Structures are given as C-alpha cells and as structure tokens.
Amino acid sequence: MAEQQVAEAPAEQQATAAEWRPTLLAYLCNWCSYAGANLAGASRMPYDASIRVIRVPCSGRVDPLMIYKAFERGADGVLVGGCHLGDCHYSEGNYACQGRMALVKALLAAAGIEEKRFRLEWISASEGSIFQAVVNEMSEQLRELGPFELK
C-alpha cells in the first residue's frame, strides 16, 4: 500500500534553491482529521500546499513502518492526525496510535531525525482552523529545517 501512495515528491516541488517547498506527508483519520481538513478547504482557509494527505480509517491504522517508509522515500516531515482521545470511532484506536507514536518518536530521535519532522495531532471534524494552523506551523518548521534526505 504505502509503496504506491508514499511516492517520491513530484518533480515540480523538488528543491530549487529559491522556492523549495517541503513535502509534508499526512496520515489523517477518516472520521476526524480528514474531515477537519475538508472543513478547512470548504471554508476556504488557506493552508500550506506542502501537505500530501493519505486517508486512513483510524489513526490506529498507522503502522510505525509507514512513518519510517515515508522518510525513507523522501518525505521531509510526517503528520499523523486522529480523533481526540475518547472520540475514536473504534473507541481505542487513537490510544494504540499514541502508544506506538511514542515509540516512533524515541526511535526517530535515536536515528537522528529532528523532532519537528514528526507530529501527532488530535484534530476533530469541526477543527478546520486547527488543521490549518498545524499544517502551516509544521510546514514553516520544515522550511527552517530544510530538505530531509537519508543520505
């Protein structure tokens, strides 16, 4: 699955010295963060075009390997968005996600990947503005960090 979806950044957004745009890969839960993103769009809230969204049925679907694979394939940052704790449609998927992502954070730190390149956020379907803020903030941080490369 991830093999096809986590594609290399399209040529048009690869680094040109002047206007480099990071690739922010986002795994968004269908029921909340994805809907939140949709609301941001429908409300015409501008947000950074660096984001590339992969919709997942629940944040509990996000296998840690999917994060590592994204970095291996050239993502500059990865965002995971799920329902607020207590609101998961499968009741505990986001708790499972939270535990796993704590391990992912530890391992990314061991591997030397900057903390700001990875983020877990709880964003509900009504929080379009939070989605906008998170994407903009993270994109800005990725611009400061510059391209990520497993070189």
Q: Does 2 bind other proteins (CB under 8 A)?
A: yes
Residue 119's binding partner among other proteins, ligand FES, none (Cβ under 5 to 8 angstroms by kind) is other proteins
Q: Does 95 bind other proteins (CB under 8 A)?
A: yes
DSSP-H helix ranges across the chain: 2-5, 33-42, 64-72, 93-111, 128-145
Q: Which is nearer to other proteins, 22 or 127 (CB)?
A: 127
| CA atoms of 117 and 139, how far apart (whole Å) | 9
Token readout for 53 is: 């969204």
Q: Does 1 bind other proteins (CB under 8 A)?
A: yes
- Least distance from C-beta 80 to ligand FES, angstroms? 9
Contact by Cβ (8 Å): 113, 148: yes
Q: Which is nearer to other proteins, 18 or 124 (CB)?
A: 124
Contact by Cβ (8 Å): 22, 76: yes
Q: Which of residues 132-151 bind ligand FES (CB under 6 A)?
A: none
Q: Which of residues 49-88 bind other proteins (CB under 8 A)?
A: 64-65, 68-69, 72, 85
Size of the site for other proteins (CB under 8 A): 36
- Least distance from C-beta 119 to other proteins, angstroms? 6
Of 61, 13, 16, 68, the closest CA to residue 34 belongs to 61
Residue 130's binding partner among ligand FES, other proteins, none (Cβ under 5 to 8 angstroms by kind) is other proteins
Alpha carbon of 118 to those of 14, 46, 78, 142: distances in Å? Answer: 20, 22, 5, 10
Residue from 9, 83, 120, 142 touching other proteins (CB under 8 A): that is 120
The distance from CA 124 to its chain's CA centroid, rounded to whole angstroms, is 15
Binding residues for ligand FES (CB under 6 A): 29, 31-32, 58-60, 82-83, 88-90, 93-94
